[in-house]
Structure 1
């Protein structure tokens, strides 16, 4: 999965047009503040927060979006997500950022209804047609999701940043939090891991054309199974695996429910060639920051490859849904993923009673 020259699908810098990724200090969900630092910030800022009774989901379990009950049959799902370029193609950057932002609505069991664009660009460094391509990519994803971009905000910025405020609706009884996993549940992952490693290889021009296409396909696939999964009574918890990696988001699930999450590493789907890329040193800085924040809560079985740590902490931009469901619902869960075009979805582990934590076996 390596190449000695850039993929023909990867834009190359020119004297007048720099690579998008060269204008930012990080890319995609790898830009996230480290989970340990974020936890400290939230603890210090939430002491005097106003919490109305209609707020069904807030910041208490680091869930994917806020949920506010409107009436007996509707709740508003609200979230925002934005980041710096993970690829150099402006149109694909816009698509990836928009897909990632909408994912949090789907992860709560909601259906998107509207979005607002967040656009921060170095106006003096990027031509207007490049910025327009970024925005067009986001618009096309929202069109595919059946929603409008109804407004937004723009600023002149040192680094290019794009994303969305995303809003959706869900029945209050179908809200799926990340904190409701139950002992005895089975874990299903909707997309393969490895986007962060692909992005690190891309920056070094070590990702070939097939890998680039795989990366784009993975990061622009909308997590549409979310609301369908939420209709199943046996689905207890859903989250999406993004910047904190599989380990980080599985730990949020474990902490919220007070359970032990166990991952069967041999069953975890991986992007093609990603193990070799990791062995060759294509690892993001965010992976190390993630591990520093939560590695003490993760047990990796002896005998697993050395790359396992890098892969479980690898930041996933627009990653897959992680579902905790009753064993009798697994067939229905996998059928929904398959019907929605997620052929890589797989059972990857289980939930056990015990002190919250994560074991990788």
Structure 2
């Protein structure tokens, strides 16, 4: 919303990061993952200042909510029969006594971003945005489902393990930089290019520390790498109210085979997208978009906490449909 000729303030809600996967409870990789749901939502309060007719600077204060919901099976047969752990009940065999674990929590944290827009000519616009890393301490609950025969072994040994308890985990959403260039080719046609760099190399491990002092921490290694995104696209105005858009993109994955988890069986991909925007009023518009993702095969070769190893590969593709509406006061 413009305050005067130089100052503009704004408010927005977006989801910069997130993923969700869910498998059948009895699938072969259940000891690594069954359900994984992690998402971050940004509530953004922005202000921009027009330094000159060509240059504008902006800054935003961000209230970010990050939530985590992770489940997996627990191979109590392997735990109880393994001499390297407890060897409490050698009669148990691996995969003979499954239980389940769930960790669920969330956290709010403040963050920030800054950006600039430069119009050297009437038809050219350059943009840059930096979104800072936001560090969270996720607070939540861990719940366990333990078979009765396994619980009897723990009770007899006076070990208060795998009991429902509170837990915390450190997790940071990564910093990223966005660069863009947009050129108005004519009154109807505009073309642009966009590039992103995301510092996923800051995501090394996800470790949950439990309030129960007898319960050892649960840790998963990710060791992700920085990712890159490049897109080229354009808009074409059919009329004053209706605009068509299309684009292509390449998107590199932060994951790799040595640490790729079935929680996030991600791989590099290519995008093709189409959309339209309808603007019946000067201050109101509606948009509809579709994208298809051609995803590379993703190899996986990873062991669970109880050394049950999952080996294979994923063949994925995705179709995305998005709609939005914008009203300017």
| Structure-1-length-normalised TM-score | 0.24
Q: TM-score scaled by structure 2?
A: 0.25
Higher relative contact order (CA 8 A, sep 6+): 1
Rg larger in 1 or in 2? 2
Q: Which has the higher helix share?
A: 1
